[in-house]
Structure 1
Amino acid sequence: MTEFTPSSAAEVPPPPVSREESPAALAPFAHVDTWVFDLDNTLYPAHSNLFGQIDVRIRDYVAKLLSLDHDVAQTIQKDYYHRYGTSLRGLMVEHGVSPDAFLEYVHDIDHSAIDPDPALGRAIERLPGRKFIMTNGTRRHAEKTAERLGITHHFDDIFDIVAMDLLPKPHRDSYDKFLALHAIVGGRAAMFEDLARNLAVPHALGMRTVLVVPQGTREVFRDAWELDGASQPHVEFVTDDLTAFLDRIETL
C-alpha cells in the first residue's frame, strides 16, 4: 500500500527556483500572501532538544504498550515514524492505539527548554498576509512552544494533527484539507519545513518551499533519512537560519 501521494499525474509542479538567496532568486516570494510554518525543529532550533523530550516519551510509550525494552521499542518507533509519517499513525494502524492518551502523554514535556526569540517574532510580524502553523503535533504543544518563543500572536491559526484527522504530513489529504479550510491559494503561499519529504505536496500545489536545516541538526535526535532530500526539485530553497531568510524576503 502506498502511504504518501505527493501529487497526481494531472498536476504540473512549478519549475525549480534557484537556491541562491539573492534578491532576484527570492523574487517569487513577492507574490506570497500566506506563510505556513512547521513547528518542531523549524520555528525553534533542533539543538534546543525540545523534540528530543518528545522522542524519549514516544519510546517509553511504545515500550510500555508492547512490553519491550527501550532499544527494541525505539527501533519500532522509528520504523513507524519513517513509514507512516508519525509514530502515532503506525501505532494506530498496527496496534489500534487510541490517539488521545498517546498525544497527552508524549507532549507532557518541559517547554522551558525553548528561549524567547524576539528577532524571529519581528521577522514573522513583518511578513505580509496571513501566517499559520501546520504541525504533526498537537495544538496545545504548538501553543506552549509558540508562547515560549514569544510569537503566538503573529499566527492566524494552528492546524494540528487532530485537525488533520490524525493523517499526518506528508499525506496529501491533510494539505488539501488545510488549504480548503483557510481558502489558501497554493501559488500565493510558502511552506517552511525541516523535513524535505513534507515539502513534496506543497511544491506540487504551487507553494514556494523552504527547507530549514540549522547547524547542529544531525547531532540532535535526527535519523539519516530525516536529513535526506535537500537536493530534490521539490525543495526550492535551503536555509540554516530561518530568521535571516525571512529578513531577506522582507527586503523585496
Structure 2
Amino acid sequence: MNETTTIRRTAQASPEDFAHVRDWIFDLDNTLYPRRTNLFAQIDARMTSFVGELLQLDPQEARRVQKAFYRDHGTTLAGLMSVHNVDPDKFLNYVHDIDYSVLLPDPALGEEIKALPGRKFIFTNGDRGHAERTARALGIIDHFEDIFDIVAAGLVPKPAAETYNKFMGLHRIDHSRAAMFEDLSRNLAVPKSLGLKTVLIVPHNFETTVGDAWEHEGREGVHIDYITDDLTRFLQNIR
C-alpha cells in the first residue's frame, strides 16, 4: 500500500471530497479502535460461550452456530432472539463483561474527530454501555453528539434498512451531507444507496486473514467510496 495507507477507486481522498459533510457517522467496534487490539475478540469469545452454555454445545460447535447467527441475522443476538427467544439484556450484559484496559487513549484520533465540522455520531450494533466504556477508554467520548445503539434500533441490527432509516430520521440527517465509517462492507450498502459517502475500515496492512472470510467480502463493491487501514491518517488527509 502507499504511504498514506488509504486507497480509493479513482483517486486519493482529499479535503474537497468531504467539504460538504456535516454529519459524521462512525461504527464502534474495529472502526474507532484497531482490530489488532482484540477488544472485540473478547466479545466474540463471550458470545460463543453464551451460545455453548445456552444450547449445551462443545466450544467448536458453539462457535459454528454463533458465527452462522452473526452471518445470517446481522448479529448473534438477532439470531438467538429469532430462533431461541433469548432475553436481549441477559445476552448484552454477558458478552460485554470484558477487559477494557487493552484500549489506550488515542489523542491523535480524538483531535481529528473533534476537528471535523458538524455533528459526530456512534452508530453501533452493540449497546450504549459498551460504546460509552469504549469511547471513554479511547478518550474520545466527549466529541460525539449521540450514541445510537442496538436498543435504540429496536434490537434490529445493521445492515437492516429500517435501522438506518430510524437513525437518520431521529437525528434528521441530510443524506447528501453525511459520511459513514464502517469495518463491514455489507453495512455500507444502505448508506451508499441513501447518498452518503462511505469509508471502509480494514485491518492493518489490509490483512484478510483477520476475522471471518465473509467479513472481507464486498471491498470492491461500488457501495464503497474509500478504503483505509488507518482512520486517524484518513481523517488527517481529508482535513
Residue of structure 2 in register with 1:9 after alignment:
none
Residue of structure 2 in register with 1:147 after alignment:
136
Superposition TM-score, scaled by structure 2 size: 0.94
| Residue aligned with 1:31, SS | coil
Unaligned runs of 5+ in 2: 1-7
Listed as ranges, the matches of 1:1-252 within 5 Å are: 18-23=9-14, 27-215=16-204, 218-220=208-210, 222-250=211-239
Q: Distance in 2 between matches of 1:27 and 1:123?
A: 16
> How many pairs are equivalent?
231
Q: Distance in 2 between matches of 1:44 and 1:139?
A: 16
Q: Distance in 2 between matches of 1:129 and 1:186?
A: 14
Q: Distance in 2 between matches of 1:235 and 1:19?
A: 12
- Is the CA contact (8 Å cut-off) linking 2:26 and 2:182 kept in structure 1? yes
Residue of structure 2 in register with 1:6 after alignment:
none
Q: Distance in 2 between matches of 1:41 and 1:92?
A: 24
Aligned-CA RMSD value: 1.2
Map Cα deviations across residues 38-79 of structure 1 (whole Å, 9 max, x no partner): 000000000100000000000000000001111000000000
Q: Distance in 2 between matches of 1:247 and 1:21?
A: 13
Map Cα deviations across residues 146-205 of structure 1 (whole Å, 9 max, x no partner): 001000000000000000000000000000000000010111000000000000000011
- Is the CA contact (8 Å cut-off) linking 1:190 and 1:208 kept in structure 2? yes
- Is the CA contact (8 Å cut-off) linking 1:211 and 1:235 kept in structure 2? yes
Residue of structure 1 in register with 2:3 after alignment:
none
Amino acid at match of 1:149: L
Unaligned runs of 5+ in 1: 1-16
- Is the CA contact (8 Å cut-off) linking 2:17 and 2:238 kept in structure 1? no
- Is the CA contact (8 Å cut-off) linking 1:86 and 1:168 kept in structure 2? yes
